[in-house]
Amino acid sequence: MKTMGNSTFTAHLTKTEVPQIHTITLGGYQSTAVCPPPMTKECPGTTSPHQLFLASIGACVNLVFEIALQKARVDLLDLHSEIVGHYETDDKSGESRFTTIEIHTRATVPKDVDEKKIQRLFDVAHKNCPIGNCLIGSCVKLVTELVVSYR
């Protein structure tokens, strides 16, 4: 696996003809339409910046976890996460923010793998996720939980 070292990432945002719907092009390859959260139900195929933010943190933790498992020579049979963001708006100031982000992960590994080892590797992933590390010192609390199942 290649290491990234110092890297630069890009995303491009373009307004569409539909008010409050923009297209994001990620890395020059994939694009998706984004809009404010209340509009996602009435605009099929769109997502919100809020959902992208949560997905980026969850994907980062999962990918770093998978890499850690691979380096430790642990077979990962299945991995699923649910990311929940608690979002609040201050009534007086009108400022909105996520206050807590929870990542609930279920990893399935072979029966002979020590659960403490899996938990330790998951903790490493949490601490080494560059997206999650952007939250250090912010008003957002990042909570991770791992459930290990065996097959």
Q: Using one digit for the tens of pLDDT, what is the confidence trace for 75-86? A: 999 999 999 999
pLDDT of the residue at 1? 57
Angle subtended by helix axes 115-127 and 49-71, to nearest 10: 130
For residue 10, pLDDT over 90 is answered with no
- Model pTM score: 0.88
The CA distance from 21 to 143, in Å, is 31
The CA distance from 110 to 133, in Å, is 30
pLDDT of the residue at 17? 95
The CA distance from 39 to 48, in Å, is 9
For residue 20, pLDDT over 80 is answered with yes
pLDDT of the residue at 26? 83
The CA distance from 97 to 80, in Å, is 26
Q: Where are the beta strands (DSSP E) in 41-93?
A: 46-47, 78-89
Higher pLDDT: 94 or 26? It is 94
Residue 101: closest CA among 117, 84, 79:
84
pLDDT of the residue at 149? 96
Instruction: Tell me what the pLDDT averaged over the chain comes to.
Output: 93
Region 22-34: mean pLDDT is 89
| Other beta carbons less than 10 A from residue 110's beta carbon | 11
Domain ranges of the chain: 11-47, 49-150
For residue 2, pLDDT over 90 is answered with no
For domain 49-150, give the CATH superfamily: K homology (KH) domain (3.30.300.20)
Confidence of residue 7 (pLDDT cuts 50, 70, 90): confident
